[in-house]
Chains A and B, each alone.
Chain A
Amino acid sequence: MLNQLSDSLLTGNADAVASLVKQAIDQKLDPNNILNDGLIAGMTVVGQKFKSHEIFLPDVLIAAKAMNAGMEILKPLLVKEGIPSIGRIVIGTVQGDLHDIGKNLVGIMLKGAGFEVIDLGKDVAPETFVEAAIENEAQIIGLSALLTTTMPVMKKVVNLATEKGLTGKIKIIIGGAPTTSDYANEIGADAYCYDGINAVDCARRILGVA
C-alpha cells in the first residue's frame, strides 16, 4: 500500500493519495511509516526524477499538492502521537521586495518534502523573521530576494539573529536570482540555495535528514 502511495504521488493524484492515507490509517499502519515510507519516499523519487529531467516543475508541484492532501489527513494523527515533522522552516521575501513567486515555489517544495513551513509572505521585516522563528521553534529561516537593492536586508536578518544569540541554533539559508554562494558566505548565512529542489536538499543536509 505504501508503494501505491508513492506511485500516486508520482502521478500527482491527490484523491488517490488522500484515500490511500485513509486506508493506511484504517489498517492501523504506523503513522511514522505512512509518512516516511509512503509520502516522503514518494516525494524523494519525484525529486530525483526532476533532477534527471524525467519530469518537470509542474509535475513536482502537482505531486507536492498531492502530498499536502495526504498530510492534511495524516497530520492530526502525527500530532496526537507526538511524532515531530522532519523540520520546521520560516520563510519569506525580505523587506522592500514584493517578488514572492520563487519563495512560494520553495515553500511548496519544502512542504512537499515533509517540512513544516511557516510562510511570512513578502516585504517581511528582519524582526518578524527572527521573532517568528523563535516563536515557532523553527530550525531554519529561509530568506528570498529578487532585487540587488533588497539583498542587504538578508545581512540584517543574520545580524539580528546573532544579536539574539541564535547562531548555531537557527540556521539561515538564502536564495533568489541575485544571490550567490559567495554572498551567503559574505553575510554569514549558513547556506545558499540555487533553486527549489536545492532548497529541499539544503534543508535536509542542515537538519541531517536522510
Chain B
Amino acid sequence: MRPTTKFLNEELLLRIVAEGRDLICNLGVEIHNDEVLSLLGDHGAKIDTKSGRAFFTHDLIDRALSSAPKSFKLYDTIGNEAVDLSDFNVNFTPGSAAINILDHDGKVSRRPTSQDYVRYTKLMTGMQHISSQSTAMIHADVHEDIADSYRLYLSLMYCEKPVVTGAFTAETFGIMKDLQVAIRGSAEALAEKPLTIFSCCPTAPLKWSKATSQNVIDCAHFSIPVEYISMPLSGFMAPVSLVGSLVQHTAETLSGVVISQLAKPGAPALYGGSPAIFDLRYETTPMGAIGTMMIDCAYNEIGKYFGLPTQAYIGLSDSKLLDAQAGMETSMGATLAALAGINNISGPGMLDFESSFSLEKLVVDNEICGMLARMIRGIEPKEDFPAQPIFEELLRDDHLLISDHTRKYLREELHFPGVTIDRANRSRWQEEGGLTMIERAHNEVERIVADSQPVRLSEDIRRELTSLMQKEAATIGMEELTKLN
C-alpha cells in the first residue's frame, strides 16, 4: 500500500471547488493582455474592456478541464525519459530563482555568479534522487535582460536533466524556446519530448500580468509544459483562513488552465502553486510554515480531483543557515508532499523564503528525497509468509546477516543514505574527522563537482546553443559570454 495523507473531506473539497469556479465567473479575473482577453472573449467569456476583466463561464472551465492532459513526461537533453508526472508519482526538483547563494561556510549569503551556477548544474548531475534541475539561481554577473535565458543555456550545456524554469518577460520566451528546439532538432520533436516546465504565475488576487499570461499561451502553442504558480498569501492578499486561501488558489489556477487550453487544447501543465501564509509579525511569507504546507497538500488534492498532475513549492526552509530549522522545515514539508503524492515537488536546496540557494543544502535535501522515495514504496511482504522458515534460520544461525533472504532484499528493502547522513558510531565518526553535517555536505559538493562528466550533447548542438545565446547576448550589447571553467 502506498502511504498517503489527506486534508480535505469530499464535502469540503467540492465546496472549495464550487466557490473557486464561481469567483472567476462572477468576479472575473483581471488580465493585462489583450491577446488573452480576445481569446477568452472569442470563446464565450464576457470581457469588460475598461477594467480588463474577463468573466469566465462554467462551460469554459469544464471544457478546459476535459482537454487538459492527465499526465505527461519530461525527457532529458539526450531524449531519455526522466520524469513521470502521473498518478501519485513523486519527483523532486530544486527550488528556483534564488537571488543569493549561501557560501559553503554556511554563513555568508551573496549574489551568485555564472561560475556558481555551473557548479550547481554539475552538482545536479550527481543528485540521484532529484530527477530534474531547475534554474535555481539568478546569477548577478549577466545583464538582467538575458538572466532567464542565460541560466537556461548554462543548465542545458552542463547538465542533462530536464529543467524547471521560466521566462522573466514575454519577449525572452523566444530564445528560451529556440534553445530547446536546438536540442530536440525541431519544434515537433520538442512537443513530442518536453524538456522543460515553465513557471507561470498569476498575481494575487485574481490577476494575470501581460508577461506571465503571454508565457502561458506561448508555451501552449509549442506544447511546452507550464506550472501555474498561484500565490495567495493568507491574511494579506488572500483570506486568513486556509479554506479561503484554497478558494483563491483554485480560482487563479483554474483561470490558468482555461487560458492554456484555449490557446491549445491538450497543452501540458501542472496544477501547481507557491502559496504561503503571511506572518503578520515579520511581514514575511514563510514557506516552512505548517499552514503553507497544509495549503499545498490540500490544493494537490483538488488538482487530483480534477485529474491533473500537480506541483508545489514545498520542502524548503526560511532559515538563513543550513541549521536545525532548515532540516526540520524541509523534512516536514517534503514528507507531507511525498505522502500527498504531489507529482513535482520544488524545494531542495532552498532557504530564506526562496531567496537563498545552498549547494550543501541541496546535497542534504537529496538524502531527504531518497528517504522519501523509499517511504512511498510503502511496506510490502518480501517472501515473509509463512514466517516460520526465516525464524527457524535465525534461531539456528543466531543471525541473518548472510541469509539468502537478507542478501536478496537488503538493498531493495532498506534505504542506505550517502555519507552526508551520519550513521557511524562515535569512534568512527571521530576517526573520520568528527565532521559536522555542513562539512560532510561540502565535501560531497566538491567531490561530485570534481567528478562530473561533460554532458553527452553533440558538439554541433553545443555550438548551436552557444551561437543562439551569443546572438541574444549581443542584442543587449554583451559581446562575449562569461568565461567559465
Contact = CB atoms under 8 A, between A and B. Distances in A.
B328 interface: no
B390 to A, nearest CB: 15
Contacts of B478: none
B450 interface: no
A82 interface: no
Contacts of B402: 58, 61-62, 65
A53 B410 contact: no
B428 A53 contact: no
A44 interface: no
Given A101-B398, A104-B398, A192 B419 contact: no
B89 to A, nearest CB: 28
Interface residues of B, number: 15
A56 B398 contact: no
A150 interface: no
B425 A195 contact: yes
Interface residues of A, number: 17
A180 B401 contact: no
A50 interface: no
**Prevailing SS type, chain A contact patch:** helix
A120 B425 CA distance: 27
Contacts of A181: 427
B416 interface: yes
Nearest to A52: B419
B406 interface: yes
Contacts of B399: 101, 104
Interface string A184-196: 0000000010110
Nearest to B407: A58
Nearest to B425: A194
A53 B419 CA distance: 9
Contacts of B428: 194-195, 198
A181 B348 CA distance: 39
Contacts, number: 34
Contacts of A105: 401
A139 B411 CA distance: 38
A47 to B, nearest CB: 14
Nearest to A192: B427
Contacts of A100: 398
Nearest to B398: A101
A56 B411 CA distance: 10
Interface in A35-56: 53, 56
A101 B399 CA distance: 8
A57 B411 CA distance: 12
A56 B419 contact: no
A180 B398 CA distance: 25
A180 B410 contact: no
A58 B404 CA distance: 10
Contact of A61 (B401, B425, B426, B427): B401
B427 A180 contact: yes
Q: Chain B CB within 10 Å — which of A56, A101, A195, A198 has the most?
A: A56
A107 to B, nearest CB: 13
Given A61-B401, A61-B402, A65-B402, A56 B410 contact: yes
Nearest to B400: A58
Nearest to A56: B410
A180 B401 CA distance: 25
B410 A58 contact: yes
Nearest to A181: B427
A50 to B, nearest CB: 12
A53 B398 contact: no
A184 B97 CA distance: 54
Contacts of B411: 56
Interface in A124-141: none
Contact of A58 (B398, B406, B427): B406
Nearest to A62: B402
In this complex, the member of A180, A181, A192, A194 whose beta carbon has the largest number of chain B beta carbons within 10 angstroms is: A194
A114 B240 CA distance: 70
14 contacts: A56-B411, A57-B401, A58-B407, A61-B402, A62-B407, A101-B398, A101-B399, A181-B427, A192-B427, A194-B425, A194-B431, A195-B425, A195-B428, A198-B427
Interface of A: 53, 56-58, 61-62, 65, 100-101, 104-105, 180-181, 192, 194-195, 198
Interface of B: 398-399, 401-402, 406-407, 410-411, 416, 419, 425-428, 431
Closest 8 CB pairs of A and B: A194-B427, A61-B402, A58-B402, A194-B425, A58-B401, A58-B407, A194-B428, A62-B402
